[in-house]
Each structure stands twice: as structure tokens, then as C-alpha cells.
Amino acid sequence: MAQVQATVKSIDENTPAIYRTYAACIAVGACVLLHLPVPETLPPLRECIPLLPPGLRLFFLYVQAHQAYLAGQYGVCIGIAETALALEDTLYPVPTIYLHLVSTMGHINLKQGEQAEEHLLEAWKIARPDDLLEAFGEHHGLLGGTLEAVLRKDYPDDFKRIIDITYNFSAGWRKIHNPDTGQHVTDALTTMEFTVAMLAARGWTNQEISDHLGIRISTVKWYISIILDKLYIKKREQLPLYMLR
């Protein structure tokens, strides 16, 4: 982040336009993906994205969709991502995986489970042959249990590797995010506990969580009890303080 900030500050009127574009996109992207505020001095992505080559354009459309997701604009998030996917005339595997995952995030927050699972499976079809698992681990907490619902049973070994990636990624992510924002995204929960907590924090009922994850409602209640104990809180209404936005 220090290097990104230093690069942006070094830009002046003599810097070629394409380098200014790259610097702005990377700076905005770093802020968005770390869930940090985007400085007002940076231009909006919509002004920069058309100047990028196709593969990078797709990736930063993903970033723009992710930014809409963080603002709670789930329909806009889905619209950006699905339009980008529809207009893609050459397959760029990595940004395509990310676009499908951000679409999954949008749909699951609108409780559109079928569409969320479709996008996750499309991402999986592209990722698995080349072992591109990192994106799934990076997005685990935001996928609202769709990984557990779709991949855990049929791909147990791959799922375990994704969870390992999740633990490593999220530890570093929190080290930057929490001090810079003053938020307290927890590291006290297992990935399954975090999944249940995320859904509960977003207003899902125990029955909805049970149906989505394919577990008994008594198991959901047990998870909620464990989560509240680990976070030293008494009510599930307090969960958003410790969850991802």
C-alpha cells in the first residue's frame, strides 16, 4: 500500500496517460479489495476502465462490481459482472473466475441461491483444470456459504485446500484492514462458523441457513451458540460488528 500511494503521488502532467490510468486503477483496486475507503482524489473506475487492454479491463470491471457490492448495491454488482461476462469475446480465465465469484456474492446477498450456485460452478469449471483455487479462498467469507453448499461434498480434497488458502489469506487481509478501518473483523471463528455468522449477520433465519448449507436447524443453532460465546456477545444482532461488510 505504501508503494501504491507513493506511485500515485509521483504522477504529474508529464506522466503518460496510460501510466496514470494504471496507477489510478491499481490504487482504487487496492482500496476496494482491502475494503478501505477510496480517496476522493482518485478518479472513478468507470473513467479508467475503457482505456485498459481487454484482460485488465475485465479484472477492473470485477473490482468495480466488488465496489458496488461493498456499497450494498447488489443489483448493480450483478449487472456489471454479468454484462462483462456476456460481452467477453475471448476467455481470460483469471478475471472471468473473479467476475463469476462477485456475481455469486451479489446473488447470495439477494437470497438468489440458484443463480449464486450457477455462477460458482461456472467459476469452478474454469478454475479446476488449471488448479486456480486462490480466488475461491480469497472470497470465502463473502460467498455466503455457497462454497460449502456446492463444493464441500463433491470435491472434499479441493475444498480443504481452499480452506487452507482462506486461513492464510484472511490473516494477512485483517492485518491491513482492521487497523486502517477501526473495524474488528474476527479471526476467532473457523471458516464454517464464520459462514454461519455472516449469514446470520445479514438477517438470514436459522431455517434459511439450514436449507442453504444443507445442515440441520439444530446444527445451525449449535453454531450460533458457539459463535456468540467465542465473540463474547449475547445477541446475534451484534454479529455485524465482527463480520465482513
* Least confident range of 7-11, 107-111, 214-218: 7-11
pTM above 0.85, yes or no: yes
Task: Place 134 in a pLDDT band, splitting at 50, 70 and 90.
Answer: very high
Task: Place 148 in a pLDDT band, splitting at 50, 70 and 90.
Answer: very high
Predicted pLDDT of residue 19: 85
Q: How many C-beta neighbours within 10 Å does residue 71 have?
A: 11
Task: Express each pLDDT in 35-93 by its tens digit.
Answer: 988 888 888 899 899 999 999 999 999 999 999 999 999 999 999 999 999 999 999 99
The mean per-residue pLDDT over the stretch 83-105 comes to 96
Q: How many CA atoms lie within 13 A of 174 on its CB side?
A: 16
Kindly state the DSSP code that residue 49 receives in the 8-state scheme: G
Contact 151/140 with Cβ under 8 angstroms?
Answer: no
Predicted pLDDT of residue 20: 84
Contact 185/178 with Cβ under 8 angstroms?
Answer: yes
